[in-house]
Amino acid sequence: MDNPNERGWTPKKRLEGKVALVIGAGQSAGEGLGNGRATALRFAREGARVAAANRHIESVAETVDMIKAEGGEAFALRTDVTVEQDIVDAVKATMDKWGRIDILHYNVGVSLGLGDTNVIEITETAFDNIYKTNLRGAAFACKHVLPIMREQRSGAIVNVSSATAVGLSPFVAYKASKAAMNAMTEQLALQNAPYNIRVNAIMPGLIDTPMAVQTRVEKLSVPREQLLAERAAKVPLGRRGTAWDVADLALFLASEEASFITGECILVDGGRILNRT
């Protein structure tokens, strides 16, 4: 048995020997760190080989460079989740390189950037594009990874949903697509449990990411510092979350530490859901 007091002993990395396909491993422009990039880094630091996919190849290449600079293994894939063939190609490239996929992490979500608004004002184009990115992309990623995991008789899927799915929001397409993702997560967990595949979702709250903050600064014309202060004031813990808060939960759900957890949609929101006013 490992002895933590023995000279030279180090704990086993939680994802040692695992292959993770992280879809949305780049990030939007702006200050700070995105959830997808943080999770890709966290997985690599815990021993996973990371296939890092993103629509913008330059952004995901930066993530890969960061992983390699720390001694990890990763490669970049240009993947537009609204195009099924791109997802097929990403899965195939991962299998060609490493021969298995143990973890699928889907961290793609759009809202204001594609014109989300209330149901009275939203356009057909905006609604369809948000749905295709947030929900259909996740479904098709699962569609093409699940047969591999079923053959392996093991795997963990971690979808990134949103606290908006169960809380208040003025943005109809984002809320609807994330609520649907929660329902899909539960369905897939039940259907794939016999294959020893676990499917869970993370519901981030007010997290300081470029996608969440910079987009609102630009689209809503709110000063950055004012926006950050308003977001922090809504959180009972008194601070905004970071991408590492999301990445830490993603790591737990992807690891064997969560081997008896499936079909769960878990909030990471500092208690925000308890204060909906």
User: Looking at residue 1, what is its pLDDT?
Assistant: 41
Work out how many domains the chain is built from and give that number.
1
CA distance 135 to 125: 15
Q: Comparing C-alpha atoms, which of 49, 29, 30, 31 is closest to residue 40?
A: 49
> Per-residue pLDDT for 8 more than 60?
no
User: Looking at residue 40, what is its pLDDT?
Assistant: 98
For residue 240, tell me if it sits in a domain. Answer: no
For residue 235, tell me if it sits in a domain. Answer: no
The total number of residues shown for the chain amounts to 277
For residue 251, tell me if it sits in a domain. Answer: yes
For residue 108, tell me if it sits in a domain. Answer: yes
User: Token digits for 41?
Assistant: 């880094």
CATH of the domain at 86: 3.40.50.720
- pLDDT tens-digit profile of 219-266? 677 787 887 888 888 899 998 899 999 999 999 999 999 999 999 999
| Annotation says 174 is catalytic | yes
pTM of the model: 0.91
Banded model confidence at residue 5, pLDDT cuts 50, 70, 90: very low
When pLDDT is averaged across residues 160-181 and rounded to a whole number, the result is 95
On the 0-12 / 13-18 / 19+ scale of CB atoms within 10 A, 260 is exposed
For residue 183, tell me if it sits in a domain. Answer: yes
User: Token digits for 61?
Assistant: 């290449």
For residue 237, tell me if it sits in a domain. Answer: no
Higher pLDDT, 194 or 222: 194
Domain of residue 128, residue span: 19-205+246-266
Banded model confidence at residue 217, pLDDT cuts 50, 70, 90: low
Coil vs helix vs strand at 160: strand
User: Looking at residue 226, what is its pLDDT?
Assistant: 84
Sign of the dihedral defined by the CA atoms of residues 242, 244, 247, 253, in that order:
negative
For residue 221, tell me if it sits in a domain. Answer: no
| Percent of the chain whose predicted confidence (pLDDT) is above 90 | 78
For residue 162, tell me if it sits in a domain. Answer: yes
